[in-house]
Amino acid sequence: YLLDEPSAHLDVEQRVQATSAIRRYTENHDATAMVIDHDIYMIDLLSDRLMVFDGEPAQHGTARPAQEMRAGMNDFLADLEITFRRDERTGRPRINKPDSQKDREQKRAGEYYYSN
């Protein structure tokens, strides 16, 4: 299955429900879904593997090979020079404040994406 931005025009609760439905369907039917989305939280909940694309939109680009989720997110976030942590209360991904202690620690360790 190929799903292009299934989270578009959905509110937060609907995105969580859609993500759960997609994951449940693919697991119950031993199916694969390729999901293209800009919602990091949806990708975080849904994905086992990740492909990172480089280039200029509508101009040119290349796709990196599919990778395990953690490695793919580390590559993607390192390119953007952004680090993520997991919110202790909600479990949702949160962007670290640039140059914060947590941001500096994660960058020094080469860990742009939090541990599960």
pLDDT of residue 52: 92
Domain range annotation of the chain:
1-47, 49-116
pTM comes to 0.81
For 57-71, the pLDDT digits (tens) are 899 999 999 999 999
Alpha helices in the chain (DSSP H): 12-28, 40-46, 69-80, 101-109
